[in-house]
Structure 1
Amino acid sequence: MVVLAPVLLISFVLLLMQHTPASASGGGLLAGGRRWGPRAVDDGSTKYAVVFDAGSSGSRVHVYCFDGNLDLVPIGKEIELFKQKKPGLSAYAKDPQEAAESLVSLLEEAEKVVPVELREQTPVRVGATAGLRALGTERSEEILQAVRDLLRDKSSFKSQPDWVTVLDGSQEGAFQWVTINYVLGKLGKPYSNTVGVVDLGGGSVQMAYAISEKDAAKAPEVADGEDSYVKKLLLKGTTYYLYVHSYLHYGLLAARAEILKASEGNDYNNCMLEGHHGMVACFFNHLGKYKYGDDTFEASGSSSGASYSKCRALAVRALKVDEPACTHMKCTFSGVWNGGGGDGQKNLFVASFFFDRAAEAGFVNPKAAVAKVKPSDFEEAARRVCKLNVKDAQATYPDVSEENIPYLCIDLVYQYTLLVDGFGVDPYQDITLVKKIPYSNSFVEAAWPLGSALEVASSS
């Protein structure tokens, strides 16, 4: 299967506010003319689209309904159907059939909200992200094939084999940027009025923001097979040059492994809470170990406890901030060009695990949809947490799940380090943590599937 190439990503945007008649072939065109999914169904006034986000930490299903102007229409009392479950598909690396079966309950929830007469015309997409990318081609393809078979045999929605695929990181980041700017009503405005997006998943982290045409012209060439740094998009009649890059191995769960891997001797325990010896979780096989993918790392705490400053030094080392391979004037980390900065990055929306950990650490209301914070808030929280042992951390942060308690110090340290040292955000710059975004009288999940659903809906 040809990997999605996003050079002409989201050509649907020509239609976002200029809704033209459907072509005979239907489908949303991506780079290279590849089509991912059929036209969304149109019953005369509404269209439905179903998108599965098969992430590394869990699977989620989104069902959207659009009117003729591509505005979201409520589904029941909510603006979308959103359901999720854990673990993700990559947790079933050795059992593809079980991986596919894990989506059944989500599929059933989606079918409940789409009218019976429209289900067989409603497109269903499955986009797997960093978790499956990390498994390698053979294993991920086995799981994808099992999912295709499931949709063919047990789903009432319209599906085709190539509508179930692994998203490349830049596609995921671009769809996320479209989602947030669409909901905020920014599309069609000058690039300086748009917001930048950082999406921290379990296996990868994406940065996307609009840059000037002048900065876009400075984008370094990339090696064959790699995603280009800049995507040219036409959204609501406005041309945008979108800087987007996905950092595989630097999502929150993957970064734990990178930090532990970067340790020398047993200094990994500077990031682990005292008393972490006897807790059992799905991420490690036995006591004091952390398992990610096929690798297992020492992760026990020491009697002296964690150290914020020493753990931060490990996080900086893992990010390769001073990577010698950086041949550009400005880099983020690991030798990656930073896009040049500018107005499109000054208003930053930060999603996924950033919001989750902030809420669990107590400096964001977990019931809020959006919150204004500063990177320094993560630093302050990390300093408090790293002083605790496992028992005290459990008592202090009851909203943190048992398997994540030992990693609360390393997670918060990493998030601060990623923002400040990795992406060069000022520690005291205001950023917006976002879980859901207000839309009309409801809220929309701040996730890439809406961008994907818009792409398929706009082609009809």
Structure 2
Amino acid sequence: MRRYSGAGARQQQQTEAVADRVHRYRRVLMVLLSPVLLISFVLLLMPRAPASASGGVLLAVGGRRWGPRAVEDGLNKYAVIFDAGSSGSRVHVYCFDENLDLVPIGKEIELFKQATAGLRALGTQRSEEILQAVRELLHDSSFKSQPNWVTVLDGSQEGAFQWVTINYLLGKLGKPYSNTVGVVDLGGGSVQMAYAISEKDAAKAPLVADGEDSYVKELLLKGTTYYLYVHSYLHYGLLAARGEILKAGEGSDYSDCMLEGHLGKYNYGGNTFEASGSPSGASYSKCRALAVRALKVDEPACTHMKCTFGGVWNGGGGDGQKNLFVASFFFDRAAEAGFVDPKAAVAKVKPSDFEETARRVCKLNLKDAHATYPDVSEENIPYLCIDLVYQYTLLVDGFGVDPYQDITLVKKVPYGDSYVEAAWPLGSAIEIASSS
């Protein structure tokens, strides 16, 4: 156990006090439905920056990023990230020392709480009202803030932060780009691909139209410049892709991707799709053909040397993409389908594992699928065939991964004696803490 004296002891007492207060009010944090209330409550629990400190607070919300700096507490810096995405709201609290290493807050390396409301699910008008309330809250607080600090993170920024998170936790930052790992993050509405490329390949990046995100981001991390290829594919997250695949199969009263015995429609993004299973059951081969069509793999608009899907440049490949870490829904479905231990933090698999499982699932009717895969939730079981088919197709046909290449499914990454969520908020915190 570490022992502290003088300023170090006071610093440790302050850190423990923060943890104690968060722990004491944990139930309140869990049940608050309003992001505004959640924000104001957590801000009150964070240590206030001393008068001489220049730090503010970093707050980010599933595409919404609030505040430009981490709170400073002596030599340590705190960062608070709010991730209010399409499926829920989450708050992350991190503490960094002067070397940008994570420091425990009490007994935890990361404070994490999940609330129930997602900002994206509230609609544009309601979301903007909440964002404006946050601007006013920060303006009236002791934290430094400006109205334009409350902004919307685009998908490519989330992808870049995810790459920073995983490579930071693996101890790859500061090393040559060829030693880093590539990241695929499959969310509900979009999927991001990010990996480091050479300066030479970065110079070949195609120009993009006004208003579109550039393909390459230049990052300076731990004294090393990285050229990060990153792209976010809107409409190709797992939940959105269901709609794209069902739309590709329109024209029939049934879907070749849905399990026999399921009757109903699929609603996503304000659209409704026919999602009833055929009396003859789902067909792996037909569903896969629909998934390839939905991905627009042979998009004629692809004028670049090499593309992924939908006419998008693939970054050129290279060493930064050889070691691939795959996160979010990839891990969840693999665990629910039984070929990954749900209690594991990371797992080595191959894309072919998704294919083999999809072939078995698509043969089942709804009742048998319930019995065979009890870990899949009631609302997701009818879509297990389409989900697994899509995940395999995305990796192999979309991103060009060899079916038998080893990839790493990741939920949490070992860091010292702890495990940290492999999520983009930490990457956002690192960027801010390293520049403040």
Normalising by structure 2, what TM-score?
A: 0.81
Residues 248-306 of structure 1: CA distance to partner in whole angstroms, max 9, x if unpaired? 000000000111111131275110011xxxxxxxxxx9960111121111111121111
Deviation at 1:183, TM superposition (A): 0.6
**Does the aligned pair in 1 maintain the 2:92–2:425 contact within 8 Å?**
yes
**Does the aligned pair in 2 maintain the 1:319–1:422 contact within 8 Å?**
yes
Deviation at 1:441, TM superposition (A): 0.1
Q: Using CA pairs under 8 Å that are at least 6 residues apart, name the structure with larger relative contact order, 1 or 2.
A: 1
Q: 1:240 to 1:198 in 2, by over 3 A?
A: same
Q: Distance in 2 between matches of 1:427 and 1:46?
A: 45
**Does the aligned pair in 2 maintain the 1:369–1:437 contact within 8 Å?**
yes
**Does the aligned pair in 1 maintain the 2:183–2:324 contact within 8 Å?**
yes
- Secondary structure of 1:268's partner? coil
- Secondary structure of 2:79's partner? strand
- Secondary structure of 2:375's partner? coil
Q: CA RMSD in A?
A: 6.7
1:132 and 2:144 are equivalent in the alignment? no
Task: Determine which of 190, 214, 220 is the counterpart of 1:234.
Answer: 220
Q: Distance in 2 between matches of 1:211 and 1:13?
A: 38
Alignment of 1:116-265 (within 5 A): 138=125, 140-145=127-132, 161-265=147-251
Deviation at 1:312, TM superposition (A): 0.4
Deviation at 1:17, TM superposition (A): 25
Residues 15-54 of structure 1: CA distance to partner in whole angstroms, max 9, x if unpaired? 9999999998657999999996243222214222110112
Residue range with higher mean Cα deviation, 62-71 or 369-378: 62-71
Deviation at 1:185, TM superposition (A): 0.5
**Does the aligned pair in 1 maintain the 2:88–2:119 contact within 8 Å?**
no
- Secondary structure of 2:58's partner? coil
Residue range with higher mean Cα deviation, 264-273 or 429-438: 264-273
Deviation at 1:391, TM superposition (A): 1.1
**Does the aligned pair in 1 maintain the 2:302–2:312 contact within 8 Å?**
yes
- Secondary structure of 1:222's partner? coil
Q: 1:164 to 1:396 in 2, by over 3 A?
A: farther
**Does the aligned pair in 1 maintain the 2:412–2:419 contact within 8 Å?**
yes
- Secondary structure of 2:73's partner? coil
Q: 1:326 to 1:257 in 2, by over 3 A?
A: same
Q: 1:5 to 1:390 in 2, by over 3 A?
A: closer
Q: 1:311 to 1:143 in 2, by over 3 A?
A: farther
**Does the aligned pair in 2 maintain the 1:72–1:79 contact within 8 Å?**
yes
Q: Distance in 1 between matches of 2:214 and 2:402?
A: 27
**Does the aligned pair in 1 maintain the 2:59–2:66 contact within 8 Å?**
yes
Q: 1:302 to 1:79 in 2, by over 3 A?
A: same
- Secondary structure of 1:438's partner? strand
Residue range with higher mean Cα deviation, 71-80 or 5-14: 5-14
Q: Distance in 2 between matches of 1:348 and 1:8?
A: 38
Deviation at 1:453, TM superposition (A): 1.1
Q: Distance in 1 between matches of 2:91 and 2:267?
A: 26
Residues 386-406 of structure 1: CA distance to partner in whole angstroms, max 9, x if unpaired? 111111111111111100000
Q: 1:380 to 1:152 in 2, by over 3 A?
A: farther
Q: 1:11 to 1:298 in 2, by over 3 A?
A: closer
Q: 1:149 to 1:382 in 2, by over 3 A?
A: farther
Q: Distance in 1 between matches of 2:349 and 2:285?
A: 22
**Does the aligned pair in 1 maintain the 2:253–2:274 contact within 8 Å?**
no
**Does the aligned pair in 1 maintain the 2:267–2:273 contact within 8 Å?**
yes
Deviation at 1:4, TM superposition (A): 27
Q: 1:373 to 1:12 in 2, by over 3 A?
A: farther
**Does the aligned pair in 2 maintain the 1:222–1:228 contact within 8 Å?**
yes
Q: Distance in 1 between matches of 2:431 and 2:394?
A: 31
Match of 1:294 in 2: 270
- Secondary structure of 1:134's partner? helix
Residue range with higher mean Cα deviation, 405-414 or 231-240: 231-240
Q: Distance in 1 between matches of 2:48 and 2:403?
A: 43
- Secondary structure of 1:399's partner? coil
Q: 1:438 to 1:16 in 2, by over 3 A?
A: farther
Match of 2:256 in 1: 270
Q: Distance in 1 between matches of 2:258 and 2:267?
A: 14
**Does the aligned pair in 2 maintain the 1:197–1:350 contact within 8 Å?**
yes
**Does the aligned pair in 2 maintain the 1:355–1:434 contact within 8 Å?**
yes
